């Protein structure tokens, strides 16, 4: 009987032939699984590392340096601004009222003088001589008048006795009236000579500031001279005439009719320094059609000569006062698609975007009607680099020093 090995001698060889390939397949499958597991593990750890690095990078991002200022609460003046000119209420050119030599000048240039103060003297001798002549003529005519009156009395007695004609008495009465007229004329000449002597002493017609001397001592001055001796300008009080657009006229007139005093502040050309404070005096009676403006006049005490005639100033008419108003610097206000907003510095040193409503903006101050509270810190410099939630490092405006944080409870 033939055995299985004998009949199938190639079976053993066949098994030996296929076994190595079967072992390789299992080995390949195991290797593939290991590769897949390694790749998954690698990419998972990579994502975790990337996420951790991003978080660390975000946490380690440097704070943005900014300048911040606190929201203030107080009274805010609402004003109208116009360009004005300082104008003296009175300016006088002092002229001589008589002819003669200017013998003495008693004032100093730039001096403040009072009304009636002696400024200069003109040679009085010609007018003293005129006064003497007038007084002599008066004495002569008074004597003639006295004699004529005595004669008139005698003639009246003689007429009663019919010793002379009435015509002679009437002629003597006319002569008395003639001498009376001469006496009055002489008295007028005396008064005129005395007045010329008064005019020989030049006095200040108003109180004010003396200008530069126009005539030196020794010159002959005349009453007809146009240049005069000196110019006096009244300094206290002094006025400012300024213009406002005609659209503001009804608002100003309404305040004037109510009787409330309107304060006017005079600032320098750069509108940085306040020079003086006064009150609105009046409004002109017509609008300038070429400019569409109306002129207003304000009165200033000017006790320390802060204002000078013909000086250009910026006049601010305070039309209203906002009490307990919230105020910030206009530099803090940002504008974007979402409207007007500011960046508020929070307690954790981050910036928060805050929408606000702006009432009005005047030089250096913005009135906030909603969105902020007094004491909050708002960013006034560096806001262009911020986003909502940005980490910030706060310093005072225009300095690198940190400022303390102030927040409302």
At 173, the pLDDT band (50, 70, 90 cuts) reads very high
Question: Does pLDDT of 270 surpass 70?
Answer: yes
State both tokens at 159.
Answer: 């007429």
CATH class of 64-76+325-395: mainly beta
Residue 15 has pLDDT above 70, yes or no: no
What whole-number distance in Å separates Cα of residue 374 and Cα of residue 358? 15
Whether 196 shows a pLDDT value over 80: the answer reads yes
User: What does the pLDDT read at residue 3?
Assistant: 47
Residue 405 has pLDDT above 70, yes or no: no
Assign domain 94-231 to its CATH architecture.
Beta Barrel (2.40)
How far apart CA 317 and CA 312 sit, in angstroms, is 16
13 has a pLDDT exceeding 80: no
Q: Say whether pTM exceeds 0.85.
A: no
Mean pLDDT, rounded, for 166-188: 95
Q: Where are the chain's structural domains?
A: 64-76+325-395, 79-89+233-322, 94-231
Quick one: average pLDDT of 114-138?
96
* pLDDT digit string, tens, across residues 199-231: 999 999 999 999 999 999 999 999 999 899 999
Confidence at 378, pLDDT banded by 50, 70, 90: very high
pLDDT at 403 over 70: no
pLDDT reading at 18 higher than 60: no
CATH ID of 79-89+233-322, from 3.30.420.10, 2.40.128.120, 3.40.50.300, 2.40.30.170: 2.40.30.170
pLDDT recorded at residue 356? 92
**Is the distance from CB of 219 to CB of 102 less than 8 angstroms?**
yes
> If you average pLDDT over every residue of the chain, what do you get?
85
Residue 343 has pLDDT above 80, yes or no: yes
Candidates 234, 323, 319, 318; CA nearest to 274 is 318
Asked if residue 237 lies in contact with residue 299, where contact means CB atoms within 8 angstroms, the answer is: yes
What is the C-alpha radius of gyration for the chain, rounded to an integer number of angstroms? Answer: 53
**pLDDT for position 247:** 92
């Amino acid at each position: 009987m033939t055995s299985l090995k004998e009949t199938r001698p190639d079976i053993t060889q066949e098994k030996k032939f296929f076994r190595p390939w079967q072992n390789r397949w299992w080995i390949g499958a195991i290797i593939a699984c290991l590769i897949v597991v390694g790749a998954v593990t690698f990419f998972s750890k990579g994502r975790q590392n990337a996420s951790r690095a991003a978080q660390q990078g975000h946490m380690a991002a440097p704070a943005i340096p900014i300048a911040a200022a606190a929201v203030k609460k107080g009274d805010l003046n609402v004003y109208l601004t116009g360009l004005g000119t300082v104008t003296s209420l009175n300016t006088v050119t002092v002229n001589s009222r008589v002819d003669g030599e200017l013998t003495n000048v008693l004032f100093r240039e730039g001096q403040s003088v009072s009304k009636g103060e002696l400024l200069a003297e003109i040679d009085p001798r010609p007018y003293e001589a005129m006064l003497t002549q007038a007084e002599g003529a008066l004495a002569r005519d008074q004597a003639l008048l006295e004699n004529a009156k005595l004669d008139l009395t005698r003639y009246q007695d003689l007429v009663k006795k019919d010793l002379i004609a009435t015509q002679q008495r009437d002629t003597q009465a006319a002569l008395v009236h003639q001498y009376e007229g001469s006496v009055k004329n002489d008295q007028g000449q005396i008064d005129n000579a005395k007045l010329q002597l008064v005019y020989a002493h030049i006095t200040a017609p108003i109180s004010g500031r003396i200008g530069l001397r126009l005539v030196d001592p020794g010159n002959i001055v005349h009453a007809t001279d146009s240049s005069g001796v000196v110019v006096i300008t009244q300094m206290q009080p002094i006025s400012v005439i300024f213009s406002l657009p005609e659209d503001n006229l009804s608002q100003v007139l309404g305040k004037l009719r109510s009787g409330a005093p309107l304060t006017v502040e005079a600032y320098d050309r750069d509108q940085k320094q306040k020079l003086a404070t006064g009150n609105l005096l009046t409004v002109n009676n017509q609008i300038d059609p070429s400019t569409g403006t109306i002129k207003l006049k304000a009165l200033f005490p000017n006790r320390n000569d802060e204002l000078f005639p013909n000086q250009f100033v910026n006049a601010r008419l305070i039309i209203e006062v906002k009490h307990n108003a919230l105020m910030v610097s206009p530099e803090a206000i940002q504008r974007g698609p979402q409207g007007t907003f500011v960046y508020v510095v929070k307690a954790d040193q981050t910036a928060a975007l805050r929408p606000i409503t702006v009432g009005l903006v005047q030089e250096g101050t913005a009135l906030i009607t909603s969105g902020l509270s007094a004491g909050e810190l708002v960013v006034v410099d560096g806001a262009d680099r911020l986003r909502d939630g940005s980490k910030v490092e706060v310093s005072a405006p225009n300095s690198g020093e940190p400022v303390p944080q102030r927040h409302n409870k």
